[in-house]
Amino acid sequence: MEEENHEGHRKRLRDKYILGGPAALGETGVLELLLTYALPRRDVLPLAKSLIARFGTLENVFAASVGTLLSTGLLSENAAVFIHLAGERAYLRPALSGTSSVPDDNTAAGIFAEAFKGADKESVYVLCLNKDRELLYRGTVFEGDINSVRFRIRDVTEPVVYSRAELVYLGHNHISGSVYPSGFDLDTTRRIADSLASNDAELLEHFIVCGTNVMGVKEATSGAREEAKKENGQKKGEEK
């Protein structure tokens, strides 16, 4: 009887999707329907709710790597791979956002400021663009400190590859402290830029957000170089 009830519920989910698409199910319903195919003999609604609660949105669930999904302890390897494949397909559609293009760095900085507004934990956010700067994908790719041992460069490169992006903006937030990049931030930025370049994508800027302040790593480093040039010039003038 319990199996019949589960099958009846799954049938109703499928019918709602056929008639009304994803909007008829909502984010939790869409994830529940996907999980019924990965875990056909379980009541997967509690699991779907737990995953949405853990990642915040369905988009973030799709953006997570297989390793990140497995690290939650909620999914089997089979289910994690299935959800990741669904996410791969999701990366190929236009970004679900109010912004269709990112024409310049200032626009990108505004998107990151809004994305991290009121955040109570650190995370890494990415914007994937085509060569015409049209937005292909936006979303959180990692939760935690970008300099932690858990962070992997592939967390950034995966959505870039899947969305076939050619231009990339990266951002992460500092919950406290300075908006200026640390030595670790600079090193991580270089490694990410090299990895993206090997996948035919360019890192346009890596923004750091702290409260209401936004600082680009490239902006900060170029400013430091200019200051160094000025100081060297002054020293040479004094020596003369």
Q: Which residues pair with 78 in a beta bridge?
A: none
Percent of the chain surpassing pLDDT 70: 85
What share of residues in the chain are helix, strand, coil (percent, to 5)?
Answer: 55, 15, 30
Confidence of residue 239 (pLDDT cuts 50, 70, 90): low
User: What is the structure's pLDDT at 108?
Assistant: 95
CA angle 99, 104, 108 (to 5 degrees): 55
The residue that leads in pLDDT, 234 or 115, is 115
Confidence of residue 155 (pLDDT cuts 50, 70, 90): confident
Q: What are 137-154's pLDDT values in tens digits?
A: 888 888 888 878 788 898
Mean pLDDT over 9-33 rounds to 86
The residue that leads in pLDDT, 228 or 93, is 93
Three-state SS at 135:
strand
CB-facing half-sphere around the CA of 126: CA atoms within 13 A: 36
Residues 161 and 164: their CA atoms lie apart, in Å, by 5
Residues 70 and 79: their CA atoms lie apart, in Å, by 9
Contact 25, 16 (CB under 8 A): yes
Q: Which residues pair with 178 in a beta bridge?
A: none
Three-state SS at 207:
strand
